Amino acid sequence: MKKMFVLAALGALCLPALASLKVVTTIPDLADIARQVGGNRVSVTNIASGLEDPHFIEAKPSYMLKMRNADLFIEVGMELEKAWSQPLMQGARNSAILPGGPGFLDASIGISKLEVPTGTVDRSMGDIHPYGNPHYWTDPYNGRIIAKAIRDRLIRLDSAGKSTYEANYGKFVEDLDGAMFGKVCAAAVGGDKLWSHYFAGDLDAWLAKGDHRYGGWLGMVKKVKGTKIVTYHRSWSYFARRFGFDVVEELEPKPGIQPSPGHVLDVIKIMKQDGAKIILMEPFYSRKPADLVAGKVNGTVVLAANSVGGQPAAKDYIAMIDNVVTKLVEAAK
């Protein structure tokens, strides 16, 4: 017993050297953005791996341990992590990261939310998120908003690092805009301008005047714009809106509810009727219903991770989106 305590004390001494700011994130996408923006001024620990469904993480004691000394806890919010982030926060014994204080960041704060239910909702509708669809990080524009929120919060907690955080944020956004619009185009006109014309709907015309042309993801999806797809869970709404895919149905009859034979039959009918050939799903869901439907409609199942680390190609945030875009465009050709 005594020996054990000595060992324990030694273990405590051997804790990793302290970085200036300790950040804990719930999903690896937030972790990657926090790492890129924070650079070497922060040490980032993440909880759910990209291989896992973020709805179904267990509040393991070891996660509480990760959070006990954290300076900043970042979550997706909108109740995505509701079942586990609350017990974790309570178990971490760290009042610095409780909601309301500067050590807690709900990354959804600046996001314009989709599918916010109106009127009364209840569980007969499945796993409804009352604050809207929480899978917003699959949209690169939201990646920018997340990065900005993280940048501002890091500056707030560590004002000495302001210039570093601003520079890192600038670099991250430059890379992201380069991936979205093509490096050459983004470098020539600047990401902010591109996004503003993109939102105004006159990007092609405006670029043509300066004899520029966009490439990147936007260039890739141009040819397949409006392609009808079916997804497993309603987790691709933000992605589909940004890249011009049309989600006609989900394999789940209601969010979080297992595909039933009756509903799968409906999906087959809808796909045949709409000419949809692609089923997009995360690798952690059961493939069986998707394969069955694909077989009936002569379609393709596209397995794509919507989180960093969910597939080998999704090694960071930008690569994660790139992986989905590439696979979908390939399947839609």
Short-list 268, 255, 221, 254, CA closest to 240: 221
Local structure of 165: helix, strand or coil:
helix
Binding mask 188-227 for another protein (x = CB under 8 A): ----xx--xx-xx-x---x---------------------
Rounded distance between C-alpha atoms, residue 318 and residue 237, angstroms: 18
**What letter would DSSP give residue 314?**
-
Q: Does residue 58 interact with another protein by CB under 8 A? A: yes
Q: Cβ of residue 237: shortest distance to another protein, in angstroms?
A: 17
Q: Does residue 128 interact with another protein by CB under 8 A? A: no
Looking at residues 274 to 303 of the shown chain, list those that interact with another protein (rule: CB under 8 A).
283-286
* Interface residue with another protein, options 40, 83, 269, 330 (CB under 8 A): 83
Q: Cβ of residue 228: shortest distance to another protein, in angstroms?
A: 26
Burial of 37 (0-12, 13-18, 19+ CB in 10 A): buried
Looking at residues 303 to 322 of the shown chain, list those that interact with another protein (rule: CB under 8 A).
none
* Interface residue with another protein, options 41, 60, 183, 213 (CB under 8 A): 60
Q: Cβ of residue 227: shortest distance to another protein, in angstroms?
A: 27
* Interface residue with another protein, options 40, 109, 204, 269 (CB under 8 A): 109
Rounded distance between C-alpha atoms, residue 68 and residue 28, angstroms: 19
Residue corresponding to tokens 């109106």:
118
Rounded distance between C-alpha atoms, residue 97 and residue 47, angstroms: 15
3-state secondary structure 81-139: CHHHHHHHHHHCCCHHHCCCCCCEEECCCCCCCCCCCCCCCCHHHCCCCCCCCCCHHHC
Report residue 205 as tokens: 């015309």
* Interface residue with another protein, options 114, 115, 128, 148 (CB under 8 A): 148
Neighbours of 101 (CB within 10 A): 11
* Interface residue with another protein, options 34, 80, 150, 157 (CB under 8 A): 157
Rounded distance between C-alpha atoms, residue 151 and residue 170, angstroms: 10
Q: Does residue 170 interact with another protein by CB under 8 A? A: no
User: Binding segment for another protein among 52-60, 171-179, 212-220, 261-269 (CB under 8 A)?
Assistant: 52-60
Beta bridge partners of 263: none
Nearer to another protein, 247 or 284 (CB): 284
Contact between 36 and 151 (Cβ < 8 Å)? no
φ/ψ of residue 232, rounded to 5: -75, -60
User: Binding segment for another protein among 25-33, 171-179, 254-262, 322-330 (CB under 8 A)?
Assistant: 254-262
Q: Cβ of residue 230: shortest distance to another protein, in angstroms?
A: 18
Q: Cβ of residue 110: shortest distance to another protein, in angstroms?
A: 5
**What letter would DSSP give residue 28?**
H
Which residues here bind another protein, judged by CB under 8 A?
8, 11-12, 14-15, 49, 51-53, 55-56, 58-62, 64-65, 68, 71, 77-78, 82-84, 86-87, 90, 93-96, 98-106, 109-110, 123, 127, 131, 148-149, 152-153, 156-157, 192-193, 196-197, 199-200, 202, 206, 256-258, 283-286
